[in-house]
Structure 1
Amino acid sequence: KYVCVFDKSAFKFSHQQRLFRTSAGNLFHNKIILFCYFMNVMLETCVYWYIKEGDSVSQFDSICEVQSDKASVTITSRYDGIIRKLHYNLDEIAYVGKPLVDIEIDASKGVAPEEDVVETPAMSHEEHTHQEIKGHKTLATPAVRRLAMENNIKLSEVVGTGKDNRILKEDILNYLAKQTGAILPPSPKAEIIPPLPKSETVPAAPKDKARKIPVPVSRPIVFSGKDKTEPITGFHKAMVKTMSAALKIPHFGYCDEIDLTQLVQLREEMKPLAQIRGIKLSFMPFFIKAASLGLLQYPILNASLDESCQNVTYKASHNIGVAMDTEQGLIVPNVKNVQVCSVFEIASELNRLQALGSAGQLGTSDLTGGTFTLSNIGTIGGTYAKPVILPPEVAIGALGKIQILPRFNGKGEVFKAQIMNVSWSADHRIIDGATMARFSNLWKSYLENPASMLLDLK
């Protein structure tokens, strides 16, 4: 027998693989060790098993999904084999450096028993997923790159069908099939699993395969009469840390109302075109783009202050976060580089983030690097709020619901207007009220006269 241990250290994406030879035989018993994807994370919660004991798995098949206080991560298999033991039940805490699952492998199927130790150097996430080829970036995950390498396929020769031409596993298999004439098996499950609408009834599923389904509001509440204590984990734990740090910032608020009558009409005209492009067009892309144009004029709102309050860093990129209320709690993914994106590009990225957020599959890159935030409380029904700044950012806006209200025009005539309220919070250590008011007025002017944005678009 041989024992294969994947011993992954607590540093980003570094790992080493060891093969210990103990006696002659044809089987490997592999322990896949949970490793730390992020600094300062020592435990993760096992939220879903894709397999059960006795199942057969292939390379790159999903094994389980774990969630830390920073992101959800899907763990995949590195070998073909049979699942012999699951070390954790659902919602149990999995400790970094401890085994997740045991896999039994046939040594005759491509595993080299002669090789005692194989070292793989540390590599950053960007190095894993981005590679410069002939002057442009090829996007692919480490699993896809390994599959291409094992089949002697150059990624530059493969056409990617994923977002931003990302090369998927299916693209490698299709390319390989064209070269060999092989018949491919059915495609594996998609990476993004959209949630079922809450109104739909969910068919019964085996206990070990079933995901937790959100409890409908109409379901009768059972009163147990007993106190219940449970640990704070996952995104809720991140929220505790972030909000505790946020309330050390001296906030000040500023509120205003915006007449969105022209923007509502413009969006209705653009929706059919967006649908042709496969994009769901909401108001949020316009709010985000208008904010970016305002940040170009008032860069102090897109800055960060160091802990000693001695230096201000003005961020070149407008990575605008959008607060989302999900089953996992409050999360704030951000749209990167809004300053160079069109409204349609922002809408497309928002669609992607919302799908991943609903499925609990947002990655670290989606959740980090934000420079400014908008929170749309209007989707729930609020009008005004007192939003809390997300450090190290220095400003945040909360958008209320759009209401049809009576207003007066320049002639004193009453007309029907589409009114939305906005509530801003800013870091009073480096931002004064006048600056916040001027930024809000500029943002308001772009939204009340959407055509004016054309003058400043680049």
Structure 2
Amino acid sequence: MSIFDKSAFKFSHQHRSFRTSAISNGQIVQFKLSDIGEGITEVTVKEWYVKEGDSVSQFDSICEVQSDKASVTITSRYDGIIRKLHYNLDEIAYVGKPLVDIETDALKDVASEEDVVETPAVSHEEHTHQEIKGHKTLATPAVRRLAMENNIKLSEVVGTGKDNRILKEDILNYLAKQTGAILPPSPKPEIIPPLPKSKTVPAAPKDRGIKIPIPISKPIVFAGKDKTEAVIGFHKAMVKTMTAALKIPHFGYCDEIDLTQLVQLREELKPLAQVRGVKLSFMPFFIKAASLGLLHYPILNASVDENCQNITYKASHNIGVAMDTEQGLIVPNVKNVQVCSVFEIASELNRLLTLGSAGQLGTNDLTGGTFTLSNIGTIGGTYAKPVILPPEVAIGALGKIQVLPRFNGNGEVFKAQIMNVSWSADHRIIDGATMARFSNLWKSYLENPASMLLDLK
């Protein structure tokens, strides 16, 4: 099984913009899809929030579109009336072509060409620009929230993005210069104290064995003729990255992990996490153990240039998690795992899963990954041959947890919770011994979860 790419998710995070231009009568504004860079020439219109004749105000949502990188929501720049929608649902909107026409009386106050910045689909209620000291400062809602949490004035930060947009990296660099500290990812999950002793928490359920999901069959309808569809959206991104991945010589390594102690620990912690409003799966432990291992073997958290002449060791552990969604297989990532607790990782995973299921993951969630884990076990697989997501150099596929007989040190048979892992690495810069040592360290953390306490920071 291969991880479908998301090369598309390896680009730097910048805002998408739409340009407006007034026609001769001075009353109708045409939103035109401008060149948004990164080779994007088209997007798919997924949903209209307005119809012809509707009145809109500034920042009202107009439509949701999807590129091969993420879904975004387009918001109105003006107060006015929608006069024309240039596309139907699921049609392709092209760069340089009008998206909608809006009749407005505000043209006299607006330049003939001005950016209309779109927002991530998850942030319908937030705006991506604000006026500061008489000039417009462009930033995403997530960046503005990060600045607010750290008491940073955006007017004091130099933006390095297109049109001087302020990126997350600009905030982090500004904070580092001020404090010299490493900033945890934003947003921070709210920490709720444990319940008082007078209140009881549900007891951990006893071992009920491994449930095998029963596939839900749907009625099969035979159309009787061939059907041809264009490759668009996330599937188009899959084509790009998997084609690039074939140029990488893959090295495979497999092992089995005894998760008996981890299964018991998770059952004990699940009620506490539930009280804090977080669903605790095994994945946060897998991710944190991987991050601890990457601290010892940073070559696995690196990238190489196209000609494999330079290696860049990534400071942040942005660990991607493959998710199966209705839009296809996508790989959002948990940022800065090296400074996150297991609970913080679980909270962020919950957020990503919720947005992924709704098709509302933003570009920032889908870009910047440095290492990937794919949990094929949720579907039922045991082994896989994962494909590296360039420019990353390593990926792991996790199988399902099975109850199997094993022998202890005294030769006695006991019931063990076994999971298989399959690693793939770029054999141009990673040798088998390094992959095996990393896997053994990762394995030791999971088989003896209490040992992770010694290295947690």
The TM-score range, normalised by the shorter chain, is 0.7 to 0.9
- Is the contact between residue 258 and residue 418 of structure 2 (CA under 8 Å) also seen in structure 1? yes
Q: Which residue number in structure 2 is paired with residue 455 of structure 1?
A: 454
Q: Residues of 2 paired with 1:452 and 1:386: CA distance?
A: 29
* 1:102 Cα offset (Å): 1.7
Q: 1:304 to 1:272 in 2, by over 3 A?
A: same
2:419: which partner in 1?
420
Give the stretch that moved more between structures: 413-422 or 55-64: 55-64
SS at match of 1:292: helix
Partner of 1:148: none
Q: 1:303–1:312: 8 Å Cα contact kept in structure 2?
A: yes
| 2:151 aligns with one of 136, 148, 164 | 136
Which residue is equivalent to 1:62?
Answer: 61
CA contact (8 A) 2:401 2:419 kept: yes
Q: Which has the higher contact order (CA 8 A, sep 6+)?
A: 2
Distance 1:22 1:249, change over 3 A: same
Alignment of 1:230-309 (within 5 A): 230-309=229-308
Secondary structure in 2 matching 1:113: helix
Take 2:188 and 2:257, find their aligned partners in 1: how far apart are those partners?
Answer: 39
Letter in 1 for 2:187: D
Residues 114, 397 of structure 1: CA spacing in aligned structure 2 closer, same or farther, 3 A cutoff? closer
Number of the residue aligned with 1:164: 187
In structure 2, distance between residues paired with 1:14 and 1:82: 21
What is the CA distance between 1:58 and its match in structure 2? 2.5
Q: Distance in 2 between matches of 1:301 and 1:324?
A: 22
Q: Indicate the residue corresponding to 2:3 in structure 1.
A: none
Contact 1:50–1:64 (Cα < 8 Å) also in 2: yes
The one-letter code of the counterpart of 1:398 is A
1:97-112 paired onto structure 2 within 5 Å: 97-105=96-104, 107=105, 111=106
Displacement, 1:30? 2.3
**Contact 2:254-2:422 within 8 A present in 1 as well:** yes
1:113 to 108, 114, 124: 108
Distance 2:243 2:81 in 1: 45
Q: Structure 1 residue 71: deviation in Å?
A: 1.0
1:128 CA drift (Å): 8.9
Cα shift at 1:426: 0.6
CA distance in 1, matches of 2:67, 2:436: 38
For residues 44-63 of structure 1, the aligned pairs below 5 Å read 44-63=43-62
Q: Which moved more, 1:346-355 or 1:59-68?
A: 59-68
Match of 1:435 in 2: 434
- Code of the residue aligned with 2:411 in structure 1: it is G
- Deviation of the 1:57 alpha carbon: 2.4
Q: What runs of 5+ residues in structure 2 fail to find an aligned partner?
A: 1-13, 116-134, 155-185, 190-214
Post-superposition Cα deviations, 1:384-432, rounded to whole Å, max 9, x if no partner, equal: 0000000111100000001111111111111111110000001111111
Q: How many Å separate the matches in 1 of 2:390 and 2:405?
A: 38
Contact 2:20 2:29 in 1 (8 A): no
Distance 2:311 2:70 in 1: 28
Measure how far apart 1:82 and its partner are.
2.5
The amino acid of 2:143's aligned partner reads T
Give the aligned length.
Answer: 368
CA distance in 1, matches of 2:341, 2:149: 27
Please list the CA deviations of residues 334-361 of structure 1 after superposition, one character each: whole Å capped at 9, or x if unmatched. Answer: 1111000000111111111111111111
In the alignment, the residues of structure 2 paired with residue 364 and residue 125 of structure 1 have an alpha-carbon distance, to the nearest angstrom, of: 13
CA deviations 1:112-168 (Å, max 9, x no partner) are 6365547569976569933856962479xxxxxxxxxxxxxxxxxxxxxxx7389xx
Q: 1:330 to 1:38 in 2, by over 3 A?
A: farther
Which ranges of structure 1 fall in alignment gaps of 5 or more residues?
Answer: 1-10, 140-162, 167-215
289-298 vs 83-92, which moves further: 83-92
Residue type at the aligned position of 2:280: L
- Note closer, same or farther for the CA distance 1:37–1:353 as it changes in structure 2 (3 Å cut): farther
The corresponding residue for 2:443 is: 444
Per-residue deviation, 1:70: 1.0
| Per-residue Cα deviation, 1:317-342 (whole angstroms, up to 9, x for no partner) | 10100011111111111111100000
8 Å CA contact retained: 2:393, 2:426: yes
Match of 2:183 in 1: none
SS state of the match for residue 252, structure 1? strand
Farther off after superposition, 218-227 or 443-452: 218-227
Higher mean C-alpha displacement, 338-347 vs 111-120: 111-120
- Aligned equivalent of 2:224: 225
- The DSSP-based 3-state class of the residue aligned with 2:316 is coil
Change (3 A) 1:293 1:128: closer
> CA offset at residue 29 of structure 1?
2.1
Change beyond 3 A, Cα 1:408–1:421: same
Q: Give 3-state SS (helix, strand or coil) of 1:237's partner.
A: helix
Letter in 2 for 1:345: E
Contact 1:321 1:371 in 2 (8 A): yes
**CA offset at residue 80 of structure 1?**
2.6
Name the residue aligned to 1:152. Answer: none
Q: 1:138 to 1:49 in 2, by over 3 A?
A: farther
Could you tell me how far apart the structure 1 residues matched to 2:374 and 2:309 are?
Answer: 29
Residues in 2 aligned to 1:123 and 1:354: alpha-carbon distance in whole angstroms: 31
Secondary structure at the counterpart of residue 301 of structure 1: helix
Shift of 1:306: 1.2
Distance between the aligned counterparts of 1:165 and 1:442, measured in 2? 28
CA distance in 1, matches of 2:265, 2:91: 49
Contact 2:373–2:396 (8 Å) recurs in 1: yes
Contact 1:12 1:36 in 2 (8 A): no
